[in-house]
Amino acid sequence: MSEAWETILQETSLGKRLTPDEAALLYRSAPFRALGRAARRRRIERVDPGKVTYLIDRNINYTNVCITDCQFCAFYRPPGHDEAYTLSNEQIGRKIEETLAIGGTRILMQGGHHPDLPLTWYTDLLGWIRAHFPAIEIDAFSPSEIDHIASLERITILETLERLKEAGLAGLPGGGGEMLDDEVRRRVSPKKQDAAGWLEVMRRAQAIGLATTCTQVIGFGETLEQRIGHLSRLRDLQDESQAEHGNGFIAFIAWTLQTANTPLASSAQKRTYGATGGEYLRHVAVSRLFLDNVDHIQSSWPTQGERVARMALGFGADDFGSTMLEENVVSSAGTTRCSMSEAEICTQIRRAGFKPAQRDTRYQLINSEVQA
């Protein structure tokens, strides 16, 4: 007689959509290798089986000033702090020049919830970048930043996004999602928008054609049901946006909570935070099976290291992320490295048995014959 997990995987291979309860059962019970094989089969159905993509870009954290006090963040500084900063246009410009010099096609700009930057500061910056660096794509301002800006301006989310898009914004990164469960959010980031608020910003962004990605951070001491609940909310919005706008999340990226330098490191419950590499791989595989309407799953080398990131390519991931050049938010919380050269990325992809292919934000191939 078949085990329950075997029946579920067999039905999934025939096209049946996983229910949350079935996903939780697979998470708990399916053997590691069987889960990985099922995720690989699903990957092959959705993307080129021989290629793994990557992006050449840079993360620019335009300010570290923030008033939201998330317990898992070691990057932010309160207003007036000696280490608080907001980059000038010229400083950002130099970072973009360095990105273009290595063949970069995108910048990813994110920062804190700055209490004194009006919407015009953001639109002026976008316009300046577009005028001086027309070749670079700008993906910027996570949903929580959009919510913060709209609140300061006392205008709607949609109006905020429309004005940013008109100024040059091409895409909205999926940061700030962490765990889309309000019990978890009240515990670790009570001042940040709730789960419905994050989803609403993405809903509006997709309605006006902005490129969007979705994310998840595991390791907040959440239950398995809360993890699956996060995935369910993403899948539901994806169904909705694809039906209404023909647009939705381009990719899903998960990583494990980093706590080393954060307030959580001194918490009485610190042993309940974080997740193992094996747990991460299991999560990637379940995500590939559950998110049947999201084409691309990205591996996270900054938080997992090269070995586990390579292994994730055998558990359903089809993308190795980006060069990043710099990253300050997650790395402040304890990652070992925050950038990887194109040559290193290609080496890692080949070691995993795949052919590297450079892409843009929307996963259009730029160079499918990479020699790096």
Percent of the chain exceeding pLDDT 90 equals 85
The predicted structure's pLDDT at residue 268: 53
Side by side, which strands form the sheet with 355-359? 57-61, 106-110, 137-140, 171-172, 211-218, 249-256, 296-298, 319-322, 51-55, 355-359, 365-367
Q: Give the torsion sign (CA, 355, 359, 365, 366).
A: negative
Q: Write down the architecture of domain 19-367 according to CATH.
A: Alpha-Beta Barrel (3.20)
pLDDT computed for residue 270 by the predictor: 63
pLDDT of residue 367: 76
Task: With CA atoms as reference, report the closest residue to 12 among 217, 292, 254.
Answer: 292
Contact between residue 71 and residue 262 where contact means Cβ atoms under 8 Å apart: yes
For residue range 303-326, what is the model confidence (pLDDT) as tens digits? 889 999 999 999 999 999 998 886
pLDDT-based confidence at residue 266 (cuts at 50, 70, 90):
low
pLDDT tens digits along 181-226? 999 999 999 999 999 999 999 999 999 999 999 999 999 999 999 9
For the segment 279-297, the average pLDDT, to the nearest whole number, is 98
Q: By 3-state DSSP, what share of the chain in percent is helix, strand and coil, each rounded to 5?
A: 45, 15, 40
pLDDT value at 9 more than 80? yes
Pairwise CA distance, residues 312 & 301, whole Å? 9
Answer whether 39's CB lies under 8 Å from 289's CB: yes
pLDDT, position 271: 64
Res. 67: pLDDT tops 80: yes
Computed over every residue of the chain, the mean pLDDT equals: 92
* pLDDT tens-digit series, residues 333-360: 445 557 789 999 999 999 999 999 999 9
Give pLDDT, residue 72. Answer: 87
* 258 band by pLDDT with thresholds 50, 70 and 90: confident
pLDDT (0 to 100) of residue 333: 44
pTM metric for this prediction: 0.94
Single-letter code of the amino acid located at 170: A
- Confidence category of residue 262, pLDDT binned at 50, 70, 90: low
- What pLDDT score does 334 carry? 46
